C-alpha cells in the first residue's frame, strides 16, 4: 500500500482562486523548454509543478510578510498573480509583456525573471533571483521596490509559495 501524497500548498485546488484572468493555455514540455531557452534560466521545479497544474493565475492567499517596509505596506507585499508561460501575461513564450520586457521597461535589476503580477502595475516586482546560484541553480525570490534594490523574500520559490498568506491577516480595524 502506498503512502498518501503530501498535500502541497501549490496544488491548483488549494492555491488558485476561481478567476482565470492571468491563466494561459495548459503548459507543455515544449513551452517550458522554449521559455527556459528564451529567458536563459532553468526554472525552479516548484514553479514548473505549479504551472503544470494551472498555467498562471491569482492565488487565494496573495500576501507575503516582509521584515521591511514596502511601497505597498509596512510589513507585507501583495501579488495579483503568479505568471505562467505564453499568452498575454506569461513570463516568456510569446508574451507581449514578458519578463525581459518588464525588466527593461521598468528598470528592474537584471537578476532573473519577473514572476508575479503586482497591484502597482510595474512600480514594484517579485523576481526569481539567480544572483547567487547562476542560471542553472535554484533561485531565491526577491522583491524590488521603487528604489530598484532587490530584497530577499524567500530562499526558494517553494518557500515563497509556502509563505503566501491571506491578506486579511494584515487588515486593521482603525
Q: Is residue 43 part of a domain?
A: yes
Is-contact 144 69, C-beta < 8 A?
no
Range of the domain at 41: 12-166
The one-digit pLDDT tens for each residue of the chain (174 residues) are 444 444 444 455 579 988 889 999 999 999 999 999 999 999 999 999 999 999 999 999 999 999 999 998 999 999 999 999 988 889 997 666 789 999 999 999 999 999 999 999 889 999 999 999 999 999 999 999 999 999 999 999 999 999 999 999 998 754
Query: Would you say the pTM of this structure is higher than 0.75?
Result: yes
Q: Is residue 171 part of a domain?
A: no
Is-contact 58 84, C-beta < 8 A?
no
Q: How many domains does the chain have?
A: 1
Amino acid at each position: 500500500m502506498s503512502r498518501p501524497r503530501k498535500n502541497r500548498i501549490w496544488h491548483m485546488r488549494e492555491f488558485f482562486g476561481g478567476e482565470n484572468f492571468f491563466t494561459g493555455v495548459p503548459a507543455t514540455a515544449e513551452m517550458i523548454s522554449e521559455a527556459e531557452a528564451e529567458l536563459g534560466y532553468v526554472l525552479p521545479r516548484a514553479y514548473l509543478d505549479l504551472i503544470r497544474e494551472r498555467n498562471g493565475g491569482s492565488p487565494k492567499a496573495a500576501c507575503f510578510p516582509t521584515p521591511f517596509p514596502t511601497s505597498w505596506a509596512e510589513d507585507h507585499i501583495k501579488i495579483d498573480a503568479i505568471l505562467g508561460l505564453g499568452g498575454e501575461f506569461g513570463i516568456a513564450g510569446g508574451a507581449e509583456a514578458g519578463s525581459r520586457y518588464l525588466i527593461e521597461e521598468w528598470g528592474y535589476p537584471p537578476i532573473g525573471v519577473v514572476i508575479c503580477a503586482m497591484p502597482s502595475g510595474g512600480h514594484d516586482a517579485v523576481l526569481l533571483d539567480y544572483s547567487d546560484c547562476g542560471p542553472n541553480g535554484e533561485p531565491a525570490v526577491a522583491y524590488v521596490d521603487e528604489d530598484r534594490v532587490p530584497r530577499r523574500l524567500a530562499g526558494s520559490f517553494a518557500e515563497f509559495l509556502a509563505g503566501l498568506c491571506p491578506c486579511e491577516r494584515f487588515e486593521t480595524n482603525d
